[in-house]
Structure 1
Amino acid sequence: MVDQATYLGLSARRIAELVNTRELAAVDVVRAALARLAEVDGWLRAFRDHWPDQALAEAVAVDRAITAGRRLPLAGVPLGVKAWEWPDSPQIRRLRAAGCVPIGATSVPRGTDWQTWGHTDRGPTSNPWRPDLSPGGSSAGSAAAVAAGIVPLATGTDGAGSIRVPAAWCGVVGLKPTGRGRVPGPLARSAADAAAYLGRTLHATWPPVDQSGPPGCALPVAAAWSADLGLCEADARIVAVARSAADRLTAGAGIVWGDLDVRLRDPGAAWRALRDPAADHTEAKAVRARNDAVLSAVFDAVDLVVTPTTPRPPHGHDGPGEHLSVALTWAVNLSGHPAVSVPAGLSDGVPVGLQLIAAPGREDLLLAVAAAATGSGVIAG
């Protein structure tokens, strides 16, 4: 058996290690995840649907495979699946083949517009840190489930910030891979777990996260800080927490700060036009071309751009009002740059996220810097 205290302290990679060596049984790990779900999901409402019978059957199959001599990179790791993703999608098939065990479908919005937050037929998804607040959206349930210790890994999608915003507000790691958000990404307890996930969903030879520094990039790493990307008025409390965490990256992850003023054009109209084939795309193309040129020049000069993940703290269950939670995230959905949100600390008792943005294809750099920072305690997590 796996008691709750033990389960809550296990990363996805540690679970896989213990199951592969038969020090733990996958079925016992999954039972612990289902027990945690039963304990907290009544008020958290992170899951729309639970799959206990299927999960236990798949865990038994994982244990049989290990007994037969197979080694599975994510053996016995309980997984939350974003409800908009079908259980037999290509990435879920890859994760299951690696040993992950899906335990249920996590909450998503109930047909709201692009200002989104999670909902179930039992009510809205709560932020694990403060139930009167939203966990963000649209990967609301996935972030809440990871933050509350139900699962160490969950799937998400990020069309404008739908992984990074809830990751920031729930205090977990959330990665949008290279592209416009159509490639699913992970919500995870750690950068190392996110790397393990990505290694199974993109390709089998994903570079490992090196705690000593970014693989393939000589230290120090050059970075540019921006509180607002020239796009919004960010809350001073959020900026202060994020900037403090960014400054601590200097020692923890070998960051050297470049003197660059990163200013983008508002991507809102271009983002919406991309989703409306009937729209006039003339202005949208101009905005995208200008922002792409700015980002190209920035990444010729530095390796990372660092910002707060969101300009404001979590909103209540009545929604964000006129404020754009995605103001600092959606520009890179248009440009295709990868970005990760990592925990930066707390403001008024709730998490603040720090966003790291890299050049296309440099997820290894993002995750290595994030791992170096969180592993050394530079960023609160």
Structure 2
Amino acid sequence: MTASRDASGPPAAAERTAVPGLSASIGRTDVRGALAAIERADPELCAFLDIWHTEALARLPGAARLPLAGLPFTVKGPTGIGSYAARRLIAAGGVPVGSTSVPGPGTHWQTWGLGAHGRTVNPWRADRTPGGSSAGSAAAVAAELVELATGSDGAGSVRIPAAWCGVFGLKTTNGLLPSPDRSGLASAGVLARSAAHAHVYLRCVLDTYEPAVPKLPLRAVHSPDLGYADVDPEVETVVRGAVRRLAAAGVIRLVGGGCDLLDPAAAWQAVRSGEAAPSAGELRRENDRRLDALFDGVPLLLTPVTPNRPHGHEGPGELLSTALTWAFNLSGHPAASVPAGFTPDGCPVGLQLVARRGADASLLGMAAAAERVLTGVRP
């Protein structure tokens, strides 16, 4: 990987993260250590648009008295500091240390990022993209510069970079948190080192959040392609292996039947452009009907996050990396990406977990259970 967390010594007392009741793994990164690590790594990683040294250090005295006690985090893009999630994290004692890269101008594809030092690279494979559009957020978490980063997801913009950078990503139920997106497709999300770190995020941004511990095994449906996507065989192999491990560990009990949807591409594009196309509405309603029927019987749907591995910096060509994610922006369901393993050439692969609308806390609990089984898979 490109960079590692600063290990020069323990953080000062005023800079430790102290959130009662959370995993002991939370809060090992301090603000000064994060800033130093970012300075060292970013000329190569290119994950940041701006680094906020002065502002971050100025926030520390006040943040130390609040629940997050100075947890460093990053925000997506040049306007992320004004987002609802960023404001709530700051109010809880989080300290934003910089804004992260998003796609630059000049291409229609969004699975890349352009930082202040150049094109953002994938911490696992510098010749590959980290995904996008939350490119720098995913790269910064994967490089262990911060423990969580804000994102937004309108077609897979949290889940895709989470999958390709080997970190945890959560897209919340559409409408659960405020979003400036008028189409209704985008929802707030987070990229995090683990589901436990995403728990910190939800607890800060959602007043009604109550952690949920799932009863295992979970009844689950596995769909390798949602009935329409053309999935890379090596990606499919990694995901099938992860599903088998979850079943063998007693986390899930697979239910037959699969999940076949209509390809949502045309409907997503119509909604995004504001077109009132009757065919798009019909497709959306039919997919909603199928998903409602599925979630009447099981709490969990499993798919690959993307049909392809991370593409090179020249772009994805004709591939639609969003093929398996944007269905759930149309339907509004919460969805998460959990690291599932690696392709033979060392590219991370994500397992997508989808739950009923509004079941974000349950989804996070299910993801944590899956993560405990899948953690430690490395190339």
Contact 1:173 1:342 in 2 (8 A): yes
How far apart, in 1, do the equivalents of 2:266 and 2:104 lie?
24
- Offset at residue 106 of structure 1 (A): 0.3
Match of 1:236 in 2: 233
- Offset at residue 90 of structure 1 (A): 2.3
Secondary structure at 1:110 match in 2: coil
Contact 1:165 1:309 in 2 (8 A): yes
How far apart, in 2, do the equivalents of 1:125 and 1:284 lie?
35
- Offset at residue 263 of structure 1 (A): 0.8
Secondary structure at 1:39 match in 2: helix
Q: 1:257 is matched with which residue: 226, 239, 254?
A: 254
Secondary structure at 2:273 match in 1: coil
User: Is 2:315 the counterpart of 1:326?
Assistant: no
Amino acid at match of 1:44: L
User: Is 2:199 the counterpart of 1:195?
Assistant: yes
How far apart, in 1, do the equivalents of 2:29 and 2:86 lie?
21
User: Is 2:87 the counterpart of 1:85?
Assistant: no
- Offset at residue 338 of structure 1 (A): 0.5
User: Percent of aligned positions with the same letter in both sequences?
Assistant: 50
Match of 2:38 in 1: 37
Contact 2:103 2:110 in 1 (8 A): no
- Offset at residue 37 of structure 1 (A): 0.2
Amino acid at match of 1:153: L
How far apart, in 2, do the equivalents of 1:105 and 1:77 lie?
15
Q: 2:283 is matched with which residue: 284, 287, 294?
A: 287
User: CA RMSD of the aligned region, Å?
Assistant: 2.5
Amino acid at match of 1:338: P
Output one character per residue of 1:214-234: Cα deviation in whole Å (capped at 9) or x when no partner. Answer: 1xxx43311000110012110
Output one character per residue of 1:297-350: Cα deviation in whole Å (capped at 9) or x when no partner. Answer: 111121111011111110011110100101110000000000000100111212
Match of 2:6 in 1: 4
Match of 2:368 in 1: 371
Amino acid at match of 1:235: D
Which stretches in structure 2 are left out of the alignment for 5+ residues? 22-26, 175-183
How far apart, in 2, do the equivalents of 1:376 and 1:125 lie?
30
Match of 2:186 in 1: 182
Output one character per residue of 1:224-273: Cα deviation in whole Å (capped at 9) or x when no partner. Answer: 00110012110111011111111111244621100012111111111111
Q: TM-score, normalised by structure 1?
A: 0.87
Secondary structure at 1:79 match in 2: strand
Contact 1:373 1:379 in 2 (8 A): no
Amino acid at match of 2:6: Q
How far apart, in 2, do the equivalents of 1:318 and 1:282 lie?
36
Contact 2:211 2:362 in 1 (8 A): no
How far apart, in 2, do the equivalents of 1:231 and 1:28 lie?
42
Match of 2:211 in 1: 208
Change (3 A) 1:109 1:44: same
Change (3 A) 1:288 1:377: closer
Secondary structure at 1:337 match in 2: coil
Amino acid at match of 2:164: W
User: Is 2:374 the counterpart of 1:380?
Assistant: no
Change (3 A) 1:6 1:235: farther
- Offset at residue 352 of structure 1 (A): 0.6
Amino acid at match of 2:363: L
How far apart, in 2, do the equivalents of 1:15 and 1:188 lie?
18
Output one character per residue of 1:2-46: Cα deviation in whole Å (capped at 9) or x when no partner. Answer: x82378x99xxx9522899xxxxx999111001110111111000
Count of residue pairs brought into register by the alignment:
356
Contact 1:245 1:379 in 2 (8 A): no
Amino acid at match of 1:104: G
Q: TM-score, normalised by structure 2?
A: 0.88
Which stretches in structure 1 are left out of the alignment for 5+ residues? 21-25, 66-70
Contact 1:344 1:353 in 2 (8 A): yes
Contact 1:19 1:75 in 2 (8 A): no
How far apart, in 2, do the equivalents of 1:311 and 1:261 lie?
17
Contact 2:100 2:115 in 1 (8 A): no
- Offset at residue 115 of structure 1 (A): 3.9
Change (3 A) 1:359 1:48: same
Match of 2:179 in 1: none
- Offset at residue 380 of structure 1 (A): 3.1
